[in-house]
């Protein structure tokens, strides 16, 4: 630990002796009471890289990033309002997943999917999504279906 910096999880020092005004009635002087330890703090981290990765995936699925096109990390960073570093890291993740390929000194090319690969992806999605949707449908109570109808109609209208 660096000098002059307190540890993040350090607690302020408190005396082990209970002050007289904090004693519980009937408790002897110097007797300690033990309470439940404080609940751990939940720390939520918001990773810029993770947010950019989600945004890039959505852009790929939505067709905003065209197959065969090369995109540079600085240009995408400007588009998302971040530096090139989190974009580069997110694109490396997408490259490891096969969604893009690295083009040295230029950026990342969105992978083109042929008809066979698209058919295979559709087949895999059907194998996964249909059983999951059936399982989810069984969890909706009878009365819940009426509330879902306007949402389904709105989805189809879009």
Q: In sequence order, what DSSP letters do the residues of 56-106 get, joined into one string? A: HHHHHHTTSS-TT-EE-HHHHHHHHTS-HHHHHHHHHHHHHHTSEEEETTT
Domain co-membership, 137 together with 152:
yes
Domain co-membership, 55 together with 74:
yes
Domain co-membership, 97 together with 133:
no
Tell me the pLDDT of the chain averaged across its residues: 79
What is the domain extent for residue 73? 48-110
Would residue 143 count as lying in a domain? yes
Contact 86, 48 (CB under 8 A): yes
pLDDT digits (tens, 9 = 90+) for 82-129: 999 999 999 999 999 989 999 999 999 999 888 898 888 889 989 999
Contact 32, 18 (CB under 8 A): yes
Q: What per-residue confidence (pLDDT) applies to 155?
A: 87
* Burial class of residue 23, CB neighbours in 10 A (0-12, 13-18, 19+): middle
Structurally, the chain folds into a number of domains equal to 2
Would residue 82 count as lying in a domain? yes
Would residue 17 count as lying in a domain? no
Domain co-membership, 80 together with 67:
yes
Would residue 92 count as lying in a domain? yes
Domain co-membership, 82 together with 105:
yes
Domain co-membership, 94 together with 120:
no
Domain co-membership, 106 together with 52:
yes
Domain co-membership, 91 together with 122:
no
For the ranges 42-46, 72-76, 144-148, which has the lowest average pLDDT?
A: 42-46
Would residue 24 count as lying in a domain? no
Domain co-membership, 61 together with 95:
yes
Domain co-membership, 101 together with 53:
yes
Q: Is the pLDDT of residue 17 over 90?
A: no
Domain co-membership, 104 together with 122:
no
Would residue 5 count as lying in a domain? no
The Cα–Cα gap between 26 and 77 comes to: 66
Confidence band for 4, pLDDT divided at 50, 70 and 90: very low
Here the CATH number for the domain that contains residue 86 is: 1.10.10.10
Q: State what percent of residues in the chain have pLDDT above 90.
A: 40
Domain co-membership, 100 together with 133:
no
Q: What per-residue confidence (pLDDT) applies to 128?
A: 93
pTM > 0.75: yes or no: no
Contact 100, 106 (CB under 8 A): no
């Amino acid at each position: 630990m660096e000098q002059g910096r307190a540890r993040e999880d350090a607690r302020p020092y408190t005396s082990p002796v209970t002050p007289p005004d904090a004693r519980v009635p009937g408790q002897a002087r110097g007797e300690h009471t033990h309470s439940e330890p404080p609940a751990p703090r939940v720390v939520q981290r918001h990773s810029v890289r993770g947010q950019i990765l989600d945004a890039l995936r959505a852009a790929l699925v939505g067709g905003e990033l065209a197959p065969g096109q090369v995109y540079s990390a600085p240009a995408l960073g400007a588009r998302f309002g971040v530096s090139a570093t989190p974009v580069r890291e997110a694109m490396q993740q997408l490259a490891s997943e096969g969604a893009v390929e690295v083009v040295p000194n230029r950026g990342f090319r969105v992978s083109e999917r042929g008809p066979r690969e698209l058919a295979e992806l559709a087949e895999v999605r059907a194998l996964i999504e249909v059983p999951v949707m059936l399982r989810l449908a069984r969890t909706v109570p009878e009365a819940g279906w009426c509330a879902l109808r306007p949402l389904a109609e709105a989805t189809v209208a879009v």
